[in-house]
């Protein structure tokens, strides 16, 4: 029997290259190997975007369309929207009863996000409690594996602690402790060198028109110690653009860029122009699939079917949870 994997994404903006290389490429691999549940985490988006719910609705549909365009296959994975499976909220409430508040307050992301998103009022119960909702998302399907980056390990540990506490309190091994599936891809840099993110305004979106992609790639930070073409560069250690470029070039092409950059034979403008064409060519099949999907009026039916399948499993878990709590000594 295949192991079960759960992963989700918040619908807070259009997909960019950070999502594509950091998350979705991994999902494409996972959907072939495991029983995957992929969901749009619209309730999680509400924890920070509660003042803009219309945007969440808009991005939820858009995100699903983009997932399917890059190759996420609802025939291979269960794809759904979190708020279509109300059992997540029910388990969230029950797990909230047993989760000590200091566990949530010590969550490193809690303080960090409050610090980074100063323009939003995040002094809410929902924001403090979002790791409990995350735990419910995972445990409701008894997922054995959760793909995470190294920085998200504390979140998963919290889910494991909540699962352990539930099993201990009610004297039954109901919830398996999910394991991390560490993803190997490092952070994708944006055009200014910081992590690619919509909120930093440094992202290349999958649906950017070709001219926009060219413009953004041309403004990518390169080797700052190389103001002129005649200065030798150091792509591996000093060029931000090259870190992204590496994902698009063959070994031969990579070596060629490194060599000609180090010998000061290749100018940054020309190098980035070539790179932009590679990115645009890689987007072409995604755009094509998107167009086809938009012509199929019933493309969203697969998401409804996914929610139905998810609800069946989630309901079974909720019944087990009540039975466990009520029969506890
Ligand atoms: S030539 Fe290319 S690899 Fe070298 S610094 Fe410029 S953009 Fe980077």
User: pTM value?
Assistant: 0.92
Mutate to test the pocket of ligand 1, among 223, 238, 269, 278 (most ligand atoms within 8 A of CB): 223
Per-residue pLDDT of the chain (329 residues), as tens digits, is 899 999 999 998 999 999 999 899 999 999 999 999 999 999 999 988 888 888 898 899 999 999 999 999 999 999 999 999 999 999 999 999 999 999 998 887 777 777 777 777 778 999 899 999 999 999 999 999 999 877 788 889 999 999 999 999 999 999 999 999 987 666 789 999 998 988 789 999 999 999 999 999 999 999 999 989 999 999 999 999 999 999 999 999 999 999 999 999 999 999 999 999 999 999 999 999 999 999 998 999 999 999 999 999 999 999 999 999 998 77
The set of protein residues with a Cβ atom below 6 angstroms from ligand 1 is 222-223, 226, 233, 235, 239, 241-242, 257, 261, 266, 268, 271-272
d(CA 132, CA 104): 8
Distance CA 206, CA 216 (A): 12
- pLDDT tens for 135-169 read 999 999 999 999 987 778 888 999 999 999 999 99
- Around Cβ 177, how many Cβ atoms within 10 Å? 17
Ligand 1 centroid, distance to 276 Cα (angstroms): 13
Q: Among 189, 272, 278, which residue has the most ligand 1 atoms within 8 Å of its CB, making it the best to mutate?
A: 272
Q: In this structure, what DSSP letter does residue 195 have?
A: B
């Amino acid at each position: 029997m295949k192991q079960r994997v759960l992963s989700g994404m918040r619908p807070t903006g259009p997909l960019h290259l950070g999502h594509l290389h950091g998350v979705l490429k991994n999902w494409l691999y996972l959907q072939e190997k495991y029983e995957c549940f992929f969901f749009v985490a619209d309730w999680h988006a509400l924890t920070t975007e509660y003042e803009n719910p219309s945007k969440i609705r808009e991005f939820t549909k858009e995100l699903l369309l983009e997932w399917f365009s890059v190759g996420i296959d609802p025939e291979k994975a269960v794809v759904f929207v979190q708020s279509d499976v109300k059992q997540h909220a029910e388990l969230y409430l029950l797990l909230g009863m047993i989760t000590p508040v200091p566990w949530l307050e010590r969550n490193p992301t809690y303080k960090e996000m409050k610090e980074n998103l100063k323009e939003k009022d995040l002094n809410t119960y929902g924001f403090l409690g979002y790791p409990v909702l995350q735990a419910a998302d995972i445990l409701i399907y008894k997922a054995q594996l959760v793909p995470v980056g190294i920085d998200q390990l504390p979140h998963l540990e919290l889910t494991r602690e909540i699962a352990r506490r539930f099993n201990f309190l009610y004297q039954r091994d109901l919830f398996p402790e999910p394991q991390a599936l560490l993803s190997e891809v490092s952070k994708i840099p944006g055009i200014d060198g910081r992590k690619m993110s919509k909120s930093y305004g440094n992202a290349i979106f999958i649906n950017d028109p070709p001219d926009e992609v060219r413009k953004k790639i041309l403004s990518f930070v390169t080797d700052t110690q190389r103001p002129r073409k005649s200065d030798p560069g150091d792509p591996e250690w000093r060029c931000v653009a090259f870190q992204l470029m590496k994902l698009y070039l063959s070994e031969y092409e990579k070596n060629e860029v490194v060599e000609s950059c180090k010998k000061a034979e290749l100018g940054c403008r020309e190098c980035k122009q070539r790179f932009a064409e590679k990115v645009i060519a890689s987007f072409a099949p995604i755009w094509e699939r998107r167009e086809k999907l938009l012509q199929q009026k019933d493309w969203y039916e697969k998401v409804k079917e996914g929610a139905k399948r998810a609800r069946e499993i989630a309901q079974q878990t909720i019944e087990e949870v009540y039975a466990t709590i009520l029969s506890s000594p």
